[in-house]
């Protein structure tokens, strides 16, 4: 028996969320109904699609096979909707963007607010995660990344370069020994990422500076910056974050100046989706303009 699209939508939601209740919240139906729909789908296919574990609902081998076909069907439905919606002047529906929490906190809110102003019927969701977004499972429609992925059927577009520098609160600098060289950093408290949770080589800033100990660590950029702003130590900060933390001062700018790049990554199957193409254009333009504005305000 061929699954209907409604049942497939429920299956995809559970596969992504690994939870009946989370899938129900997304689909706006109660968890019991989600469970019944999955049971009905399993019955129609005569196959078990999930196993329940402490981690949640995990796909079986049969479920993994169905997932591939479900994602293809979803891409086809999105393309069809995009062809229709894209022909209108204003965007509508829902679009989810995945991003590292630095850009998700300091760039995307204002960029997405402007896009929302121009498209009042569009629902924009920002998925902020300190890890790589899994586009293959449709965690998001597109993702902002630091490194350009080289594997998978993906569309990759460079969006913008951005600068990073060492920073500390003036209060911290007043209470500690002067910092005149990179070597002086070893006598100071450093704030950075949890070493074994750095999900992208491009984020391993302190290791590149020869720093092998991080006294205060977090997998979250806003947490690191908050600690630095409170005078707890020195960290590497995106220059575009500094207007939000006016008490932070850049250090050793003539010796340490890092450049990284944002990329926009999308499903290859969406390249003919006019709706997502238009949104991607607005998003890349907005990120590029916002990085330039904030870096200029920071004095870069």
Structural domain boundaries of the chain? 1-85, 160-259
| CATH code for the part of the protein at 1-85 | 1.10.10.10
Q: Given this model, what pLDDT does residue 240 score?
A: 97
Q: Given this model, what pLDDT does residue 130 score?
A: 65
Q: Given this model, what pLDDT does residue 173 score?
A: 95
Phi-psi category of 231—alpha, beta or left, where left has phi over 0 and alpha has psi -120 to 50? left
Question: What is the distance between the alpha carbons of residues 84 and 80, in angstroms, rounded to a whole number?
Answer: 7
Q: What is the pLDDT of residues 242-293, one digit of tens each?
A: 999 999 999 999 999 999 999 999 987 777 788 899 999 999 999 999 999 9
Q: Given this model, what pLDDT does residue 109 score?
A: 97
Q: What is the pLDDT of residues 65-84, one digit of tens each?
A: 898 788 777 766 766 655 55
Q: By the 8 A CB rule, do 50 and 13 touch?
A: no
1-5, 100-104, 168-172, 288-292: which has the minimum mean pLDDT?
1-5
Q: By the 8 A CB rule, do 195 and 217 touch?
A: yes
Question: What is the distance between the alpha carbons of residues 180 and 251, in angstroms, rounded to a whole number?
Answer: 9
Instruction: Give the Å distances, CA to CA, from 183 to 170, 171, 179, 209.
Output: 20, 21, 9, 9
The helix-helix angle for 108-118 and 274-298 (nearest 10°) equals: 130
Q: Quick check: 58 pLDDT over 80? A: yes
- What CATH topology corresponds to 160-259? D-Maltodextrin-Binding Protein; domain 2 (3.40.190)
Q: Given this model, what pLDDT does residue 149 score?
A: 82
Question: What is the distance between the alpha carbons of residues 72 and 90, in angstroms, rounded to a whole number?
Answer: 26
Q: By the 8 A CB rule, do 129 and 98 touch?
A: yes
196-205, 231-240, 282-291: which has the minimum mean pLDDT?
196-205
């Amino acid at each position: 028996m061929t699954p209907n699209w409604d049942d497939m939508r429920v299956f995809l939601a559970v596969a992504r969320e690994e939870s009946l209740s989370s899938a129900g919240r997304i689909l706006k139906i109660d968890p019991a109904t989600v469970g019944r729909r999955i049971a009905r789908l399993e019955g129609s296919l005569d196959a078990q699609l999930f196993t329940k574990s402490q981690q949640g609902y995990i796909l079986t081998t049969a479920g993994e096979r169905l997932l591939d076909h479900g994602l293809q069907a979803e891409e086809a439905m999105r393309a069809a909707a995009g062809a229709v919606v894209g022909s209108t002047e204003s965007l509508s529906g829902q679009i989810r963007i995945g991003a590292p929490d630095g850009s998700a906190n300091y760039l995307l809110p204002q960029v997405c607010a402007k896009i929302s102003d121009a498209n009042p019927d569009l629902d924009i969701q920002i998925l902020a995660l300190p890890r790589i977004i899994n586009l293959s499972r449709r965690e998001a429609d597109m993702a902002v990344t630091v490194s350009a992925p080289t594997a998978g059927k993906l569309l990759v577009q460079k969006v913008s370069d951005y600068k990073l520098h060492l920073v500390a609160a003036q209060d911290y600098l007043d209470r500690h020994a002067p910092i005149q060289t990179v070597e002086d950093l070893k006598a100071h408290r450093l704030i950075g990422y949890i070493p074994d949770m750095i999900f992208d080589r491009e984020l391993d800033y302190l290791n590149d500076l020869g720093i092998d100990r991080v006294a205060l660590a977090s997998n979250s950029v806003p947490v690191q910056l908050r600690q630095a702003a409170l005078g707890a130590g020195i960290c590497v900060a995106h220059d575009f974050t500094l207007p939000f933390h006016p008490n932070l001062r850049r250090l050793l700018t003539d010796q340490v100046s890092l450049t990284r790049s944002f990329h926009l990554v999308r499903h290859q199957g969406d390249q003919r989706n006019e709706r997502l193409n238009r949104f991607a254009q607005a998003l890349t333009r907005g990120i590029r303009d916002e990085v330039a504005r904030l870096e200029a305000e920071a004095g870069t």
